[in-house]
Structure 1
Amino acid sequence: MFRLTARHFTDGMENNAHRQKTTLVLGGTGKTGRRVAERLTAAGLRPRIGSRSSEPPFDWEDQATWALALKGVDAVYLAYQPDLAFPGAVAAVRSFTALAVESGVRQLVLLSGRGEEEAGISEQTVRDSGADWTILRSSWFCQNFSEDYLLEPVLAGVIAFPAGDVAEPFVDVEDIADVAFAALTEDGHSGQLYELTGPRLLTFADAAAEIAAASGREIRYVPVSPEQYAAELTEHGVPAEYATSLLDLFTGVLDGRNAHLTDGVRRALGREPRDFADYARATAATGVWGGR
């Protein structure tokens, strides 16, 4: 015979609260936000997508869109575009966070960048907001090679990039999304800073070799100077100001400061992070890189 206890009633109330919770996922069509939204949707939590094309729209560069996007929201997955290290990010995150808390948001999960001094300021803003917070301080995304600016070089067979022989603990964005989902739906993550890395260090040459092995194509890494890379960006139509900010970010975080592993994924999820080789094999199977 089933006996109804106070715990069953409390658990039911908590589960119902989770089902009714409204989460705004900023960057909801991007690499991490899209995956966070998919996980919330699969759990029946109906996230609100924060993007210029969503309804209501959200645009980091248009504060007039913020209030409506925040209406009735309980939690926010806070991902700033293009990056927390870019000019204007600190002020935007500060203004948005204040408005979010004023609007009734009780939880903030911030996607931050590992080794970025400017990102640290935004992290402190979220800590001091008065809301429950979790910070995901992430290393370089594996998916930059398949869903972003490094895809075209991979397809061309030559990854020319100003990273020298610095090693990076590339992290799979699937792990970032898993940690974000856990933080948004489970107890025990409030007040936690999770520094997220993959399980091993790879140079960009190592990463190119992994992609080549998985795709069956010849792909090599060619180190170039920051000046050469900036010139390449502008030749491809990237605005000079944006190219400068991007280059400052790359040369800053790829100076060796992040060449060590952390246990953030294991602390958050109780398992090891995905390896770059697993990412490469799974991505190659989609055909995005061509090859076999």
Structure 2
Amino acid sequence: MTVLVTGATGRTGRRVAEAARAAGLRVRAASRGAGFDWTDRSTWADTLRGADAAYLVHPTDVGSPDAAEMVGGLAREAVGLGVRRLVLLSSRGEERARPAEEALRASGADWTVVRAAWFAQNFSEGPLVEGLLRGELVFPAGEVREPFIDVRDIADVVVAVLTGGDRYVGQELAVSGPRLLSFREAVGEIAAATGSALTYLPVTARQYGDQLAGFGVPAQEVEFLVELFESLLDGRNSYLSEGVREVLGREPCDFTAFAREAAGAGVWKG
């Protein structure tokens, strides 16, 4: 099987590619550096042609205004080229993601949607790292609790779904970590793993948006993020999902193990 992996240099795509190779699959890594661009349809056919399956992850957010058109367009192109087995990464509790999911379902593909909880690796890769390096994470999550998931679990689920024949076709799978943690508790776990004094400062989504605007983030993107955080971080996701156990037959990786491993790798050293 040849699997096309979009976002192959990103947080989940990189791990999906690694897990797929470990499972003996041929991986076609799709990224801008490899000539694939979600926003340029002329790059799609050459990237898709000859693949047997594909992992789709939207480059910004699956609930962004252009996601449904992009996901639907790429899925239809894939089906037209004989790439019928498609797995889309989506988000638990994000109502704005539903149009992209529906576009996938309407494409004629043999589809599976994997809806993930907040990534543990959001603390070790991306914009949150800078705050932790300064000793204080400023974020609009209040004291809401989230079952942070290790993205390697997501990757293992995706590969199991891709290699599972028809077993998971037409299914929506929700995946999470094994326990609920507040963002304050997560920062505390990172502090314990690093031996550093770290604090968490909750702010409103609007205050966080103003901060992003001050850093030069475009106004339209700021408004999208403010509305996204106001909805996703309202407590709706404070529950566990069984997808990792159901698909892999094992427990999800725990946040403490993630924090210790990342700290050992020097992720949060200034």
Question: Which of 227, 233, 255 is residue 254 of structure 1 equivalent to?
Answer: 233
Match among 29, 38, 44 for residue 49 of structure 1: 29
TM-score (norm 1): 0.88
Instruction: Single out whichever of 44-53 and 185-194 deviates more from structure 2.
Output: 185-194
Match of 2:66 among 71, 88, 104: 88
Q: Which amino acid aligns with 1:221?
A: Y
Structure 2 residue 98 is matched with structure 1 residue 150: no
C-alpha displacement of 1:183: 1.2
Letter of the 1:97 partner, please give it: A
Q: Which residue of 2 aligns with 1:28?
A: 8
Whether 2:239 is the aligned partner of 1:239: answer no
Other-structure match for 2:160: 182
Deviation (angstroms), 1:118: 2.1
Partners in 2 of 1:122 and 1:71 — Cα distance? 22
CA distance in 2, matches of 1:89, 1:131: 17
Q: TM-score, normalised by structure 2?
A: 0.95
String of CA shifts for 1:214-237, please: whole Å, max 9, x gaps.
Answer: 111111110112222112112222
Q: Select 1:119's aligned residue among 97, 115, 133.
A: 97
1:1-292 to 2 correspondences below 5 Å: 21-54=1-34, 57-187=35-165, 188-290=167-269
Q: Which runs of 5+ in 1 are unaligned?
A: 1-20
**Percent identity between the two aligned chains:** 53
- Tell me what 1:13 maps to: none
Instruction: Tell me, yes or no, if the aligned pair for 2:118 and 2:149 is still in contact at 8 Å.
Output: yes
Distance in structure 1 (CA, Å) of the matches to 2:230 and 2:186: 18
Q: Secondary structure at the match of 2:161?
A: helix
- Name the Cα RMSD after superposition: 1.4
Can you list the C-alpha shifts for 1:210-267, whole angstroms capped at 9, x where unaligned?
1100111111110112222112112222222222222222221111111111111100
Q: Which amino acid aligns with 1:247?
A: V
Please tell me whether Structure 1 or Structure 2 has the larger radius of gyration of its CA atoms: 1
Contact 2:68 2:101 in 1 (8 A): no
Counterpart residue type for residue 21 of structure 2: T
- Give 1:279 deviation, angstroms: 0.8
* 1:146 CA drift (Å): 0.5
Task: Give 1:257's aligned amino acid.
Answer: R
Does the CA contact (< 8 Å) of 1:189 and 1:268 recur in 2?
no
Amino acid at match of 1:161: F
Q: 1:90, 1:118 within 8 Å by CA — same for their partners in 2?
A: no
Q: Is the CA contact 1:101–1:130 (under 8 Å) kept in the aligned structure 2?
A: yes
The one-letter code of the counterpart of 2:252 is: P
Structure 2: tracts of 5 or more residues without a match: none
SS of equivalent residue, structure 1 residue 47? strand
Shift of 1:89: 0.7
SS of the equivalent of 1:228 reads helix
